[in-house]
Amino acid sequence: MIFWQKSMDLVTQIYRASGNFPKVEFYGLISQMRRSAVSIPSNIAEGYGRRSTGDYIRHLQISVGSLYELQTQLEISKNLGFISELEFDNQYDTTREIERMLLSLVSKIKSSSSN
């Protein structure tokens, strides 16, 4: 699943970027961003592993929620000067791409299960 792989790559990007944040943010923004990022592929995998359409959709939706959290945290990081505009743009674009893939998949699963 390409969206799972892209979300795994995003986790790596977030860990690397947040490693340069001020140490005072270790239990704040760093921790929040890393948890949000890790939650995305984790929920995709957990939902898939449940082998239930309803559980899969629910976990995909949780992944989307984690993406929204991460998008907000990226914006905060940019506003505080912890990441550059370019780094923000690249990571934000990646989150939007994954978001579109997940929402499309949820829509397809819902429409095929209602037929």
Tell me, what CATH number does 104's domain have?
1.20.1440.60
Say what the pLDDT of residue 1 is: 83
Query: How many independent structural domains does the chain possess?
Result: 1
pTM above 0.85, yes or no: yes
- List the structure tokens of 100: 């579109």
16 belongs to a structural domain: no
The range of the structural domain enclosing residue 89 comes to: 2-8+25-110
What sign does the CA torsion over 42, 45, 49, 51 have?
positive
- Residue 58 makes CB contacts below 8 A (sequence gap 6+) with 47
Using a pLDDT cut of 70, give the percent of the chain over it.
99
List, for residues 24-74, the tens digit of each pLDDT value: 999 999 999 999 999 999 999 999 999 899 999 999 999 999 999 999 999
Whether 31 maps to a domain, the answer reads yes
Burial of 37 per CB tally in 10 Å (0-12, 13-18, 19+): buried
Dist CA 62 CA 40 (whole Å): 8
pLDDT for residue 51: 87
Interatomic CA distance for residues 43 and 48, integer angstroms: 8
Check pLDDT > 70 for residue 115.
no
Answer yes or no: is 33 within a domain.
Answer: yes
| Banded pLDDT at 113 (limits 50, 70, 90) | confident
Cα→Cα distances 85→11, 75, 90, Å: 19, 10, 9
